[in-house]
Amino acid sequence: MTASDKKVFIIDLDDTLMWNQYNYDRARIEFLNFLMKIFNRRVPNALYVLTLAEKIDRELINDIDPKTGKRFGFSGTRFPSSLVKLYEALCTEGWGTYLQGYAQQIYKIGLMTFDLKEYKKAGLVPGARRILSSLRKRGDHLALLTKGDPEVQEQKIIALGLDKLFDDAQIVPEKDVALFAAYLEKWKGHGVFSIGNSASDIKPALEAGCGGIFIPCYTWGFESIEIGKLPKEQRERFWQIDTINEIEKIYSQL
């Protein structure tokens, strides 16, 4: 393999290499059960509660965390705080009485989402470890790029043993064009590809000049990509596959 043959794969973590959304759903189910208990079975229907939960969680991304003075963003405190705000909103609507002790218990329920033992138990998505090992054997460079709370993401990386499978890893607050452009600059003469389930993994990479390999897993509204709306030049560097295993099928096209 010559230097120019070497490929660089920048790979997302959540819902690309590991299933992550179900952890939030586990916490929401526990939250609903807790509401039935503290509201003495007088609760609004689950669809209403879950719709309101998603609305509050999304709004909180841009709100300021009073404990840190910074945006909640994708921090580990955002989701537990959103459940507390949801509980408060339901109490304001008249479903129950707001008590600080209950709020503290609900915050702990939200922390279920970041259960280290659960990460280890669940492991990577089917085929991911084999594909990563295969790419390494080819001599390709593997970079893990994930956004979120640094402490939470670092725990995931270590729990899943990804620190042993990747050449380098970055935990960032956002993925933007400049970030992917820096990869291109560092790896001049190589094919550089971003792999992920979200528009934020693919669109800025395409704009920077990288290739994009999209593995749809629509856990957030932000994640969809309308292929037809991409500029023609970007479409030529875009691939969509159903599972990470299909990287082997398209490898010769990259």
Task: Give the closest residue to 234 by CA, choosing from 250, 251, 214, 218.
Answer: 214
* Structure confidence by residue, pLDDT tens digits, 29-58: 999 999 999 999 998 999 999 999 999 999
Main-chain phi, psi angles of 147, to 5 degrees: -110, 155
Q: Which sequence spans correspond to the domains of the chain?
A: 3-18+124-253, 21-118
Q: How far apart are CA 31 and CA 27, in angstroms?
A: 6
11 vs 117, residue with greater confidence: 11
pLDDT at 76 over 50: yes
β-bridge mates for residue 147, sequence order: 172
74 vs 190, residue with greater confidence: 190
CATH tag, 3-18+124-253 = 3.40.50.1000
For 196-251, what is the HEC assignment? ECCHHHHHHHHHHCCEEEECCCCCCHHHCCCHHHCCHHHHCCEEECCCHHHHHHHH
Task: Give the closest residue to 102 by CA, choosing from 40, 164, 53, 15.
Answer: 40
Q: Tell me, what's the pLDDT at 60?
A: 92
Q: How far apart are CA 61 and CA 58, in angstroms?
A: 6
pLDDT at 3 over 50: no
Do 79 and 110 touch, CB atoms closer than 8 A? yes
Q: Tell me, what's the pLDDT at 68?
A: 84
pLDDT at 250 over 50: yes
Q: Tell me, what's the pLDDT at 231?
A: 80
213 vs 224, residue with greater confidence: 213
Q: Tell me, what's the pLDDT at 5?
A: 74
Q: Tell me, what's the pLDDT at 1?
A: 38
pLDDT at 222 over 50: no
- Mean of per-residue pLDDT scores for the chain: 91
221 vs 200, residue with greater confidence: 200
CA dihedral (165, 170, 174, 175) in degrees, to 10, reads -60
pLDDT at 219 over 70: no
Q: Tell me, what's the pLDDT at 72?
A: 86
Q: Tell me, what's the pLDDT at 148?
A: 86
Q: Tell me, what's the pLDDT at 73?
A: 81
Q: Tell me, what's the pLDDT at 2?
A: 41
Share of the chain above pLDDT 70, in %: 94
* Structure confidence by residue, pLDDT tens digits, 103-161: 999 999 999 999 888 889 999 999 999 999 999 999 999 999 999 889 899 999 999 99
The pTM score is 0.86
